[in-house]
Amino acid sequence: MITLSSKDIKELCSSFSVDEHEAFVLLQHVLGTPYSSLVLSKEIKISKEQLFAFKSKLKMRFDHVPVAKIVGHKAFYNHDFITNEYTLDPRPETELIVDLVVKYFPNKTDTLSILDLGCGTGCIGLSILDLYPNAKLLLADISTDALTVAQKNAIRLKIDKRCNCVKSDWFSNINAKFNIIVCNPPYVAENYNLDFDTSHDPKIALFGGKDGLDAYRNILPEVHKFLVPNGLLFLEIGINQCDNICAIESRLKVVEIAKDLQGIERTIVFKVKN
Ligand SMILES: C[S@@+](CC[C@H](N)C(=O)[O-])C[C@H]1O[C@@H](n2cnc3c(N)ncnc32)[C@H](O)[C@@H]1O
């Protein structure tokens, strides 16, 4: 066994240019020891093989592989979600959708039907489903690999009995109406230069055509067919896209435009006009 002191960890972080918090997440993954006890330990016992594995993960991070892609999971709202090369790593700003659903549907015992369109890991829909014990969820994505991940996450959260998965090109395979539709579509314009970390997410989860708005032009004209009366659509948007997106479909009325913690317009709540 080798002993790593706090000073050794700091030195490893600086030689691989990795932030200390991220290094502890990687170490937690290698050792299976809780993060908090690693951070508080003055000395950490580690085998030669584990040290090798830790260093190879630090090297991956040095090469800009996101921590979530290295360890295979990421925290979102109240839970940790499996993620892989086929799914977008859940983003903190997307948690706003869950908060807005709770704001507009305050009764947790409601019997709601929810659609997560372009579900990826399922982080949005499953976080909501977990809060509403009488709700049902349909997870939809064009990627069967993403749906496999979403299904695993549902099982991990022990709420898989209340959810179904469907492969669908937006609404093409959806045949029901919902109280809640949540959607975080790909919205990056095709010529946009991604930072190194984002470039590890699947292209289909990121790019929305020339101006980033292709998915909105597909989804919004269909929404009125898939919401029950008083149903709501919670739609994530990219920076400076709000006005163009609100202008796409005249049958929908904007209920709220919510900003994220950075003050960026991030989620539009729509309802169908009466
Ligand atoms: C930005 S990611 C969002 C994933 C997840 N909902 C989240 O917020 O982390 C967009 C998702 O839309 C899916 N997608 C892209 N084009 C689609 C289409 N035509 N029909 C259905 N889903 C699509 C992608 O596979 C991806 O999972």
Q: Cα separation of 253 and 255, whole Å? A: 6
Å from CA of 110 to ligand 1 middle: 27
The residue whose CB lies within 8 Å of the most ligand 1 atoms, and thus the one to mutate among 82, 95, 119, 218, is 119
Using a 6 Å cutoff on CB, does residue 90 contact ligand 1?
yes
Atom of ligand 1 nearest to the CA of 87: 27
Under DSSP, the state recorded for 48 is H
Q: What is the pLDDT of residue 59?
A: 97
Q: What is the DSSP string of 138-170?
A: EEEES-HHHHHHHHHHHHHTT-GGGEEEEE-ST
Q: What end-to-end distance do the CA atoms of the chain give, in Å?
A: 70
Q: What is the pLDDT of residue 197?
A: 80
Å from CA of 87 to ligand 1 middle: 8
Using a 6 Å cutoff on CB, does residue 85 contact ligand 1?
no
The CB density around residue 198, as the number of other CB atoms within 10 Å, is 16
246 closest CA partner among 211, 209, 222, 220: 220
Using a 6 Å cutoff on CB, does residue 181 contact ligand 1?
no
CATH architecture, range 77-272? 3-Layer(aba) Sandwich (3.40)
By alpha-carbon position, which residue is closest to atom 27 of ligand 1?
Answer: 120
Å from CA of 273 to ligand 1 middle: 26
List every span in the chain annotated with CATH 3.40.50.150.
77-272
* Token pair in block for residue 17: 């240019």
Residue count (the chain): 274
Q: What is the pLDDT of residue 44?
A: 94
Using a 6 Å cutoff on CB, does residue 141 contact ligand 1?
yes
Contact 170, 215 (CB under 8 A): yes
Q: What is the pLDDT of residue 102?
A: 98
Q: Cα separation of 89 and 120, whole Å? A: 9
The CB density around residue 191, as the number of other CB atoms within 10 Å, is 9
Contact 14, 57 (CB under 8 A): no
The residue whose CB lies within 8 Å of the most ligand 1 atoms, and thus the one to mutate among 91, 143, 235, is 143
145 closest CA partner among 201, 98, 106: 201
Tens-binned pLDDT, residue by residue, of the chain (274 aa): 899 999 999 999 999 999 999 999 999 999 999 999 999 998 999 999 999 999 999 999 999 999 999 999 999 999 999 999 999 999 999 999 999 999 999 999 999 999 999 999 999 999 999 999 999 999 999 999 999 999 999 999 999 999 999 999 999 999 999 999 999 999 999 999 888 888 899 999 999 999 999 999 999 999 999 999 999 999 999 999 999 999 999 999 999 999 999 999 999 999 999 8
By alpha-carbon position, which residue is closest to atom 9 of ligand 1?
Answer: 90
Contact 95, 123 (CB under 8 A): no
Q: Cα separation of 116 and 123, whole Å? A: 9
Question: 256's torsion region: left (phi>0), alpha (psi -120 to 50) or beta?
Answer: beta
Å from CA of 205 to ligand 1 middle: 5
Using a 6 Å cutoff on CB, does residue 26 contact ligand 1?
no
